[in-house]
Structure 1
Amino acid sequence: MLSGMPMRHQPDRTPDRVKDRPTWIVSRVFARSSALLAAAFEAHADGLRGYHYRLLAALEQWGAASQADLSRGTGIDRSDVTGGLTEMEGRGLVERRPDPEHKRRNIVTITEAGREALLRLDDIVDGVQAELLAPLSPAQRKQFIEMGRLVADRRA
């Protein structure tokens, strides 16, 4: 603070002791990737969001699943899974039916319209990946992904 005035944050200025710390860099990459994804989904996804994409991708890859299994498999909170599925069911992207073995549980399947929506969302996400990683060469992109997985998948 100079002369009683607070210093305004300048996004291009980061203290030297902070700027090269991996945790700072990862948080900046996360913030940038989140902003790019949000903007791309807002502009091109007709109201669908990243969690819809994850749910559709899980159903397409793993097949029919209970809502609880979708929550566990995607890392999305159960109540958010329920809300997301309700939205997608209303658009005809998924179908929910009672599990004949457990009447209190629903089994969710992706529809053909859901598969088509997933392909459109793949294009959106692919564009964001290209924009995010544009400063890197193809070899650096591969290395970035491999190193990120090593760090992210590390178990204590």
Structure 2
Amino acid sequence: MAEAPLLAIRTLPSWLLGRAAARGRALVAAALAAEGMKMWHHVVLSAVRDLAPVAQADLGRSVGLDPKDVVGILNDLQSAGLVVRAPDPTDRRKNAVSVTEEGARMLARCEKVARVATDELFAPLSATERDQFMGLLIRISGTDG
């Protein structure tokens, strides 16, 4: 009897984590798109809220994006009225970015729909299993949560 196709691959934890991550990203991306937001735009907007006022270069480093990509995303966010740029009070050669009131409202909506999408991903797990799984993911990801 022949072995199921790709059984050796499909049983690798890295492959399974990748599949779960792809499904999670797809669910969250679809939820954000319904709010008119793209994934990286949401990441940058969230980082601006958490770090504001933040210099563009520092923002890029904090989310791991190339500076030119950060500029493009910030241009989009500013055009939508979600962020503002102003001279950095500590270094007038730099721009500091902050979230507008509309940006804060958009973030609240996006965080809500992202949680709902994540709940859909985790639906097969009990609350205890979710907590345990998150703890394990944090441990193997090398982050502190």
Which TM bucket (shorter chain)?
0.7 to 0.9
Say yes or no: does 1:87 pair with 2:76. yes
Is 1:144 the counterpart of 2:133? The answer is yes
Distance, in Å, in 1 between the alignment partners of 2:75 and 2:102 is 15
Q: What SS does the aligned partner of 1:141 have?
A: helix
Task: State the 1:90 CA deviation.
Answer: 0.9
The structure in which a higher percent of residues are helix is: 2
Contact 2:81–2:100 under 8 Å retained in 1 = yes
Match of 1:38 among 29, 50, 70: 29
Unpaired runs of at least 5, structure 2: none
Compute the displacement of 1:39 (Å): 1.9
Please give the TM-score of this superposition, normalised by the length of structure 1: 0.82
String of CA shifts for 1:51-97, please: whole Å, max 9, x gaps: 12222222222221001111111122222211111111111111101
Structure with max Cα Rg: 1
Deviates more, 1:95-104 or 1:134-143: 95-104
Match for residue 18 of structure 2? Answer: 27
For residue 147 of structure 1, what is the amino acid of its counterpart? L
| 1:64 has 2:53 as partner | yes
> Where does residue 120 of structure 2 map in the other structure?
131
Question: TM-score scaled by structure 2?
Answer: 0.88
Q: Which runs of 5+ in 1 are unaligned?
A: 1-12
What is the CA–CA distance in structure 2 between the aligned matches of 1:55 and 1:135, rounded to whole Å? 30
CA contact (8 A) 2:55 2:97 kept: yes
**Higher RCO by CA contacts (8 Å cutoff, separation 6 or greater):** 2
Cα separation, partners in 2 of 1:98 and 1:14, compared to 1, 3 Å: farther
Residues 1:34 and 1:19: Cα distance change in structure 2 (over 3 Å):
same
Superposed CA RMSD = 1.7
Q: Percent of pairs identical after alignment? A: 34
Q: 1:15 aligns with which of 6, 27, 37?
A: 6
In the alignment of these two chains, the number of paired residues is 140
Following the alignment from structure 1 to structure 2, what is the Cα–Cα distance between the partners of residues 135 and 95?
A: 41
Q: Corresponding residue for 1:3?
A: none
